[in-house]
């Protein structure tokens, strides 16, 4: 039976972790796929591992390559991660271009392509991605029309689709959900968001200024890094928890 295998792209952030929880609740056998692409915030990979482990996935594969060679993003080059951009934008105080410099060229296309390769080997027809077109940074490869075009291409790309009539489905269950709705859904499914990581620009743990209650949740982590609190991803996370009426267990 091939119908119950799902491949989940897992960065370790709120969206991908919630997507994994949703796939798991759908009864799928989960194969999680993460990428070590020399991202500035490689700390997220520890979170990916913890989330995969918490949900008892069948397999968790981490593929390694270096997107710094291609560059073109603040997450894979020396470009500075913008701070307060979104905060200003959300409060109406600033202007900013539509797609920020944290956009990584063709990242979801690369990620989905490795997912497609592994899905073909596993004969897994279901590929889950935490793409979101509401509370997000305007990335073009999170739009529904992009995901539809990817699925159409994927179904022409493989030996499995030609010889075994495998039909790949790209699932993006968060596509039209607000961040606060995503968080509520995850909590409902038993996801502990202390395991996740969002910050694009992790900072060293300041020795004195950390409250004791934070230390207990941070203890499980191998690295001593804290979120910057000011990048787009931190701002979206904070806004999501605020709107959900919850405290972020990672920073709260």
Q: Which residues make up the interface to a copy of itself (CB under 8 A)?
A: 61, 63-67, 69-72, 97-99, 103-110, 112-114, 116-118, 120-121, 139-141, 143, 145-146, 149-150, 152-154, 156-163
**Residue 96 or 203 having the CB closest to a copy of itself:** 96
Distance in Å, CB of 74 to a copy of itself, minimum:
12
**Residue 18 or 137 having the CB closest to a copy of itself:** 137
Decide: 233 and 74 in contact? Cβ < 8 Å: no
Q: If you search the block for the tokens 């709107």, which residue do you land on?
A: 243
**Residue 134 or 149 having the CB closest to a copy of itself:** 149
Distance in Å, CB of 96 to a copy of itself, minimum:
13
User: What is the rounded CA–CA span in Å between residue 238 and residue 31?
Assistant: 29
Q: Where are the alpha helices (DSSP H) in the chain?
A: 14-25, 44-54, 85-90, 107-122, 144-157, 159-163, 179-188, 212-218, 232-244
Distance in Å, CB of 37 to a copy of itself, minimum:
9
Which own/partner pairs from 65-71 qualify as long-range (CB within 8 Å, at least 24 positions apart)? 65/35, 65/36, 65/37, 65/38, 66/37, 66/38, 67/37, 67/38, 67/39, 67/104, 67/107, 67/110, 68/38, 70/105
Distance in Å, CB of 80 to a copy of itself, minimum:
18
- What end-to-end distance do the CA atoms of the chain give, in Å? 44
**Residue 110 or 231 having the CB closest to a copy of itself:** 110
**Residue 158 or 214 having the CB closest to a copy of itself:** 158
Distance in Å, CB of 34 to a copy of itself, minimum:
12
Residue 71, phi-psi category: left (phi > 0), alpha (psi -120 to 50), beta (remainder): left
User: What is the rounded CA–CA span in Å between residue 178 and residue 186?
Assistant: 12
Distance in Å, CB of 47 to a copy of itself, minimum:
21
**Residue 47 or 73 having the CB closest to a copy of itself:** 73
């Amino acid at each position: 039976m091939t119908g119950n295998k799902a491949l989940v792209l897992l960065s370790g952030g709120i969206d991908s972790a919630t997507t994994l929880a949703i796939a798991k609740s759908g009864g799928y056998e989960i194969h999680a796929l993460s990428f070590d692409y020399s991202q500035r915030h490689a700390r997220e990979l520890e979170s990916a591992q913890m989330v995969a482990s918490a949900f008892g996935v069948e397999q968790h594969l981490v593929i390694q390559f270096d997107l710094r060679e291609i560059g073109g993003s603040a997450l894979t080059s020396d470009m500075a991660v913008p701070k307060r951009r979104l905060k200003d934008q959300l409060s109406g105080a600033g202007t900013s271009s539509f797609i920020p410099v944290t956009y990584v060229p063709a990242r979801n296309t690369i990620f989905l392509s490795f997912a497609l390769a592994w899905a073909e080997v596993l004969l897994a027809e279901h590929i889950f991605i935490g793409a979101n077109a509401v509370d997000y940074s305007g990335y073009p490869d999170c739009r529904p029309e992009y995901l539809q075009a990817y699925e159409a291409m994927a179904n022409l790309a493989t030996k499995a689709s030609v010889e075994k009539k495998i039909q790949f489905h790209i699932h993006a269950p968060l596509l039209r959900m607000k961040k606060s709705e995503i968080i509520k859904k995850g909590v409902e499914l038993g996801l502990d968001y202390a395991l996740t990581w969002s910050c694009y620009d992790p900072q060293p743990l300041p020795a004195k200024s950390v409250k004791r209650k934070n230390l207990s949740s941070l203890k499980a982590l191998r690295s001593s890094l804290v979120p910057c609190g000011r990048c787009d991803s931190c701002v979206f996370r904070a806004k999501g928890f605020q709107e959900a009426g919850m405290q972020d267990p990672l920073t709260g």
